[in-house]
Each structure stands twice: as structure tokens, then as C-alpha cells.
Structure 1
Amino acid sequence: MKFHGIVPALVTPLTADQQLDEAALRNLIENLIGHSVHGLFVLGTNGEFFALSEEEKLRVARITVEAAAGRVPVIAGTGAFATAEVVRMNARMHELGVDGLSVITPYFNAVNERELIKHYETIGNASALPIMLYNIPAETGMSIGIKAVAALCQHPMIKGIKDSAGNFDALVQMMQYRSDDFAVFAGTDSLIYWNLLAGGDGAVAATANAVPGVVMDIWNRFKAGDHAGARSAQERLRPLRDTFGMGTLPVVLKEATNLLNLPVGPCRSPILPLEPAQAERLAQALAVYRN
């Protein structure tokens, strides 16, 4: 597969008692495919991978592959601190029929550049599936630097990077390593249009859970040459993006998805629902999407 287009970073639907909600996950997948997304990304940060057991992760991947039924590629997050753990999970995902892998940087204990490059090279050497590097320093405490990108983009199984650092200058620097064999994706939804304008390949977009039509409008208008329309669609994401600071990730996104799109349930503890006053402010802020 080639990493390309708008790929929603799916939330993981849970029941009221915080168990995986298979029916809701399948409904979300159908909804997103119905909006003509280019792929599905599961078990990312907004998918609460950090709160799921290995068995649950494999179940999410299996359900998504089954529900997608070959209509769009499925990318699964498999990141962990230990290199061997990532290699093992990648093999399990391959057995389930996943099309691509997203590997977040090691977290909690930041490694140096030499260690980071070796980590990814070892994972790539053992992988039967294309890999997307995942850079989100605000959550992991470390960043994939430009030198590491320059080295890793040469690996035959490392096919792209999802950059969620929110630094447009760094994103632009990465474009010098973009090729037909290495994609540069925006992982910060406020930069979808700007990434495309700079020559990027698309976005892994969490906001698509709540407002898939708006996110796809950015892509469709850009590809049609309607830059004013694409930029306007990008600006339409701002009210949703501006609410994210109201709660612990990804509670606001889940509650926004419940309000604007489909039921996806709560987050897993220790993340709590918004307080009633916060929920009311969220509903007011998102009223613009009902017009």
C-alpha cells in the first residue's frame, strides 16, 4: 500500500462499562468509509492504545479489517518502548490482515538519536508491512529529528511519517525527504491544508470522527484546485480544535463525536467524562456544525 489521502485516526468506541463496543466500531467504520476516506488508522493516541490490553488491540484490528473488507487500507498502531515488543505486535497485525503499521517513538524514557534510528531500523528489517513513523513529542517526551528522518526514509519498509508535533516549519523541512516511496502526513489537524500546500501527502485526522465531511472537504477542494474553499474548510475545524483543551485527551473528541456524528461511548478510566458545565460549553461551541 501507499500512504495517501485523509486517514481518520479512529477513537475506540467503548460501552458504558468501558468494554470494547464492537457494534459502535463497525458503525463508525461504515460512516467514515461512506464519507470516502482513504484509509482507517486504529490504535493511535486518540484510539486510547495506551489504555487497551494486547488482546483488545488485536480485537480492534481484526474487527476493522473485517469491516473495511478491502474497501480501504487499515493502518494499526503498534508502538511500544521495547523494540522486540513492537516487532512481535507487528507480526500479529500482519497475521490479522492489516495493511500498514504506525509506530510511535519510544515513550516515558526518551532515547537518543542513535538509539531511535536503530529501533526503527530493527523494526523495519523484521516487518512484512509498510511502516509509518509517528512523531508526537507532546505525549512521548521526544521527537523524531530531521537527521533521523533523513536516515530512516531510505529504509525499504519505512514508507512515511505522521508528524503530530504541530510545528509547521519542521513539517516543511521534512518535505525534502518526501518521495514516491516516503509520504509526509500531517498529524495535527490544524495543518491539513498547509501540509497539502507544502507538497505533503495527506493527514491522519482525528477530527474526522466528529466532522468527517469537513475534513474531507479540505482534501476534495484542494484536489479540485479550490484553494479558497480548502482553506475555508480548514478554518471550519477551528471551533472543534479549540475545545480540545477542555478535558484529558481524548474525552473532548469522543464527546464531540457523540454529539455530532455517532455514539462512541466514554473514555477508559482514569479519564472521566466532562463535568456537566463543561459538556454544556462544548455543546454550545460545537453548535456551529449543526448549521
Structure 2
Amino acid sequence: MAGKDIRGVIVPILTPLNSDESVDTSSMRRLVNYLLDNGAHGIWVSGTTGEFANLTNKQRLISVETVVDEVAGRVPIIGNISCPSTQLSLELALAVQEMALDGIAVTPPYYYNNAQDELLDHYRYIGDRSGLPLWVYNIPPTVKTIVEPNTIATLAAEGAVVGVKDSSGSGEPFAQLNVLCEQGNLNLLRFLGTVSRITTSTALGADGVIPAIANLAASASARGWEAGEAGDMETVKECNAKLIAASKIAQLAKGGGPNAAAFS
């Protein structure tokens, strides 16, 4: 991971588009600098908030290239390479191999349900062949399959994965994973994907958060996480109020991309 400390608020960056659906690289560069100027500790590119499922591979690769170029090594970058199948995900992983990412993330294959032994094979296959630090992107509300704590722990013990983003929406699997990591002395980066956990993630055993709302409230997200880690409850309260207000704005938008709609 290029020796970088991966902690704190990693922002799942939006993907600005032009009227012809091409990636608006100028706006994306401005957004990168807005996020970093306001304290973001890292960037997660081509994720759910970036609406990857609506983009072509060409659009996704342009967005990754743009972010990597504009960040220029200032913070860690994780690229989501999730596709409906293992082979398609690997194809995208190989396409970003030389882009100086600090890691890649992948969900389980989606559309069909998958057994846990199939998920073990999925992550091992991509990790072995991509040669890149691999993250489990655990988001069962959209892919139908949860990567269970024991499965993640097995992969971590093998060195097949280095991190996990938990967007399961339930605290129980994350708590179970924490116990397994402690019992097995596993070296696994553990991140939560929900806005409600920004200021409490450290207490929950997380290394940080990857919240969509940070696109709208980057400073409050970064300051809130840092204050939570430091036990500065006054700043936590202040930042939580700003995050709640930003979330209410995002909730006014209808459809699949509320944060993008709110940001525009």
C-alpha cells in the first residue's frame, strides 16, 4: 500500500458527467481538491456513490486515471473494480494494475447468489492474478450476498485481502469480524460505510469510514472522525449537527444517486 497510513475518512467520490455522459474530468479534479483541502484522508473511486454500475469500463478507467493523477500521491486511493462476475472484475483489475492505486476493492459477483466457498475462490482468484492489495467490499443490500465474518477472516489470515469496507447496514457482522481479527491477530484494515458511524468508528474497532455524505460535508466528516478518535466531544457534536443537516439535503433527492443530485 505504498507505505501510506490508511485511516480516517476515505471519501467515495462522485463521478461528474457531462451532458453527453462522458466523464467531466475538470469537475472531478476540482472535487478531488475540494475533498483534500477539507481534510479527506483518502479517496475511494468508482464506488457505489460514484454510480459505477451505471458506467462503462471506459468511464470507470477515466475516472480512476483522473483521480490518481490529481491526487498525485497526497492520500491513499482505493479503486472499486466490482463487476457482475469474477472474470469481469479481474479484467478491470488488470486494467488498473499500472495506475498507482493503493488498493482495489471488489464485491461478491452479483445477480446470482453465491455460497461462502465460492466467495473464497472469487477473492483468491482476483488477488492472486491482479497482484494488487485487495479489499472486500461487503454490501449485501445491492449484491444480495453477504461476505460472512469467518470468510473475511479466512481471507485475511491467508493474506488474500488487506481490508474490508462494511456496508452491510448491521453492526453485528462487523463486531464479529473484530473479534475474529483480535483472536487471530489478523492484519486487516476495517472500514465502515455508513454516515452514522463517522464519529464513533474508532470506538467500534474501525480504522475509519467511507461515507457518501463526505462529498457534501468533507470538513465535518474529517473533523468529526478526528474528534471522535481524540475524544473531543464538543467538536463531535458540532460536526454531527452539520452531517445531519447535509444528510437531510441529500434525502430530498429521489432516485439512485441522491448525493450526486444534492451536490449538483
> Is 1:76 paired with 2:79?
yes
Question: Measured at CA, do residues 194 and 174 of structure 1 come closer, stay the same or move farther in structure 2, by a change above 3 Å?
Answer: farther
C-alpha displacement at 1:180, in angstroms?
A: 6.8
**Which position in structure 2 is the counterpart of 1:278?**
none
**Which position in structure 2 is the counterpart of 1:46?**
49
**Which position in structure 1 is the counterpart of 2:223?**
217
What is the correspondence of 1:259-274 to structure 2 with a 5 Å cutoff? none
Question: Measured at CA, do residues 180 and 68 of structure 1 come closer, stay the same or move farther in structure 2, by a change above 3 Å?
Answer: farther
> Is 1:170 paired with 2:170?
no
Return the match for 2:103 from 100, 103, 107. Answer: 100
Return the match for 2:254 from 229, 242, 247. Answer: 247
C-alpha displacement at 1:208, in angstroms?
A: 0.9
> Is 1:161 paired with 2:164?
yes
**Which position in structure 1 is the counterpart of 2:117?**
114
C-alpha displacement at 1:124, in angstroms?
A: 1.5
C-alpha displacement at 1:87, in angstroms?
A: 1.9
Question: Conserved in 2, the CA contact under 8 Å of 1:168 and 1:191?
Answer: no
C-alpha separation in 1, matches of 2:6 and 2:161:
11
Question: Conserved in 1, the CA contact under 8 Å of 2:253 and 2:262?
Answer: no
**2:170 corresponds to which letter in structure 1?**
N
**2:255 corresponds to which letter in structure 1?**
T
Question: Conserved in 2, the CA contact under 8 Å of 1:46 and 1:249?
Answer: no
Structure 1 counterpart SS, 2:198: helix
C-alpha displacement at 1:241, in angstroms?
A: 3.1
Question: Conserved in 2, the CA contact under 8 Å of 1:42 and 1:61?
Answer: yes
Structure 2 counterpart SS, 1:102: strand
**2:44 corresponds to which letter in structure 1?**
F
**1:223 corresponds to which letter in structure 2?**
E
> Is 1:3 paired with 2:10?
no
Structure 2 counterpart SS, 1:194: coil
Question: Measured at CA, do residues 44 and 167 of structure 1 come closer, stay the same or move farther in structure 2, by a change above 3 Å?
Answer: same
Deviation string 1:67-94 (CA, Å, 9 cap, x unpaired) is 0111112111001232122222112112
C-alpha displacement at 1:32, in angstroms?
A: 0.7
C-alpha separation in 2, matches of 1:244 and 1:116:
33
Structure 2 counterpart SS, 1:96: coil
C-alpha displacement at 1:228, in angstroms?
A: 4.7
Structure 1 counterpart SS, 2:44: strand
Question: Conserved in 1, the CA contact under 8 Å of 2:12 and 2:212?
Answer: yes
**1:13 corresponds to which letter in structure 2?**
P
Structure 1 counterpart SS, 2:98: helix
C-alpha displacement at 1:43, in angstroms?
A: 0.5
Question: Conserved in 2, the CA contact under 8 Å of 1:153 and 1:177?
Answer: no
Deviation string 1:88-109 (CA, Å, 9 cap, x unpaired) is 2112112122221011121111
**Which position in structure 2 is the counterpart of 1:142?**
145
Aligned-residue CA RMSD (Å): 1.9
Segment of structure 1 superposing worse, 66-75 or 222-231: 222-231
**Structure 1: gaps (5+ residues):** 259-291
**Which position in structure 2 is the counterpart of 1:28?**
31
C-alpha displacement at 1:176, in angstroms?
A: 1.9
Question: Conserved in 1, the CA contact under 8 Å of 2:39 and 2:223?
Answer: no
What is the correspondence of 1:197-208 to structure 2 with a 5 Å cutoff? 197-208=203-214
C-alpha displacement at 1:55, in angstroms?
A: 1.2
Question: Conserved in 2, the CA contact under 8 Å of 1:121 and 1:155?
Answer: no
Segment of structure 1 superposing worse, 198-207 or 226-235: 226-235
> Is 1:55 paired with 2:61?
no
**Which position in structure 2 is the counterpart of 1:288?**
none
**Which position in structure 1 is the counterpart of 2:188?**
182
**Structure 2: gaps (5+ residues):** none
C-alpha displacement at 1:212, in angstroms?
A: 0.5
Percent identity for Structure 1 against Structure 2: 28
Question: Measured at CA, do residues 182 and 149 of structure 1 come closer, stay the same or move farther in structure 2, by a change above 3 Å?
Answer: same
C-alpha separation in 1, matches of 2:96 and 2:78:
9
Question: Conserved in 2, the CA contact under 8 Å of 1:87 and 1:127?
Answer: yes
Segment of structure 1 superposing worse, 222-231 or 184-193: 222-231
